[in-house]
């Protein structure tokens, strides 16, 4: 990735190869041709993480080739990262060069930025953070106009906020999202916006309710809630749940119930296998689910969750792994067929492929 040819023709060649691969994988299900949503070839990535490699008295931003953590690749600029990250990198480097309090035993730096222009920098240390570090970090945060999080073993010090606020336009409405430090967020903001608008469009206006599994910070939940009567959403990560709850308030959305359960636990609850105190105040019987939305991890949905989603007339599925997507569709293909498909190029210059399908009951 670091030595890629970033020319438009090289990007188009790679994108066409991904499109052909997805077409081949979905051909067995007679899927329609996928819509393709391209990325900008450069400055698309809103997150970046670097190890710091010491050589003499100098520390360098560094990355490593897969499987090799001993041979650093020094990074002076990072073309795939956002323009803001590239602007902040040399300024941060100059700051630790001139401050022992900032540089002492600093071993990793993480950047989190947004399309809306906010930034948060995480500095990771092999030592406790003291008053001298606090004073230097507060001065740096003011100079760079960013929030800073300092991490040392078992401790975290926050200067400013421990999240950034992203703003994304879906069908003419701007939704704001708190994105916490250390929690998962979509790395390619522009392509994420395409994903949200695609899901919003293919779902359409529905008179019934939506069940969402793996909802994260509410990335899809917020815009999709405007297309249905009400939403029951689940997420297991505590930081993501807290961010999602704040996002509901910030966006003044009141038709979403959020519960901290895994997809497997919710399956057990809906099947009457187990009762959960976290569902005590939620009347599952009041929901008339017509659509289930899933955005699972790379492993895809387990067999029990596949059987759960089979109950619904519509399954809206966003996948970060086309191989497990195909396995899940195969499990569902006797009752559902693909009526819409899409390719979202979240990660140019890699083999990674994000895709989406709408499955409807036959």
Alpha-helix runs per DSSP H in the chain: 8-26, 83-97, 100-103, 131-144, 189-203, 221-225, 238-250, 263-270, 303-309, 322-332
* Environment class of 28 (CB within 10 Å of its CB; exposed 0-12, middle 13-18, buried 19+): exposed
Which residue out of 58, 215, 320, 360 is catalytically annotated? 320
CA-nearest of 54, 55, 73, 77 to 64 is: 73
Spatial distance between the Cα atoms of 123 and 96, rounded to a whole number of angstroms: 11
Angle ∠(89,90,94) on CA atoms, nearest 5? 120
* Cα–Cα separations (whole angstroms), residue 61 to 6, 89, 103, 105, 286: 21, 9, 13, 14, 54
CA-nearest of 332, 321, 330, 327 to 356 is: 321
Which residue out of 138, 167, 354, 360 is catalytically annotated? 354
The answer to whether residue 320 is catalytic is: yes
In total, the chain counts a number of residues equal to 362
* Environment class of 76 (CB within 10 Å of its CB; exposed 0-12, middle 13-18, buried 19+): exposed
Handedness of CA 319, 320, 325, 326 (dihedral sign): positive
CA-nearest of 45, 47, 53, 181 to 108 is: 53
The answer to whether residue 354 is catalytic is: yes
How many C-beta atoms surround the C-beta of residue 90 within 10 A?
A: 12
Residues marked active site are found at 320, 354
């Amino acid at each position: 990735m670091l030595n890629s040819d970033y020319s438009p023709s090289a990007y188009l060649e790679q994108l066409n190869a991904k499109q052909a691969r997805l077409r081949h994988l979905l051909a067995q299900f007679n899927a329609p041709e996928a819509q393709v949503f391209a990325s900008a070839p450069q400055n698309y990535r809103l997150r970046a993480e670097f190890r710091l490699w010491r050589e003499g008295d100098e520390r360098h931003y560094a990355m490593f080739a897969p499987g090799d953590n001993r041979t650093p690749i020094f990074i002076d600029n990072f073309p795939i990262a956002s323009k803001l990250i590239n602007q902040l990198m040399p300024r941060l480097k100059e700051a630790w060069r001139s401050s022992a309090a900032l540089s002492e035993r600093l071993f990793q730096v993480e950047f989190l930025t947004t399309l809306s222009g906010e930034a948060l920098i995480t500095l990771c240390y092999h030592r406790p953070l003291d008053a001298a570090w606090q004073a230097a970090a507060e001065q740096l945060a003011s100079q760079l106009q960013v929030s800073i999080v300092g991490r040392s073993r078992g401790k975290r010090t926050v200067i400013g906020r421990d999240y950034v606020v992203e703003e994304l336009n879906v069908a003419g409405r701007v939704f704001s999202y708190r994105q916490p430090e250390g929690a998962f967020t979509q790395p390619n903001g522009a392509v994420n916006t395409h994903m949200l608008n695609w899901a919003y469009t293919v779902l359409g206006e529905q008179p019934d309710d939506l069940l969402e599994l793996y909802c994260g910070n509410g990335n899809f939940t917020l815009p999709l809630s405007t297309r249905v009567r009400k939403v029951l959403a689940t997420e297991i990560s505590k930081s993501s749940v807290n961010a999602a709850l704040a996002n509901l308030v910030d966006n003044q959305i009141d038709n979403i119930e959020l519960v901290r359960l895994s997809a497997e636990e919710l399956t057990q609850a809906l099947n009457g296998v187990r009762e959960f105190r976290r569902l005590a105040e939620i009347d599952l019987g009041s929901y008339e689910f017509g659509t289930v939305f899933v955005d699972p991890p790379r492993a895809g949905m387990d067999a029990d969750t596949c059987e759960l989603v089979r109950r619904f007339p519509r399954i809206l599925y966003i996948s970060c792994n086309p191989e497990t997507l195909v396995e899940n569709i195969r499990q569902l293909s006797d009752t559902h067929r693909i009526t819409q498909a899409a390719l979202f190029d979240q990660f140019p210059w890699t083999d990674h492929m994000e895709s989406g399908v709408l499955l409807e009951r036959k």
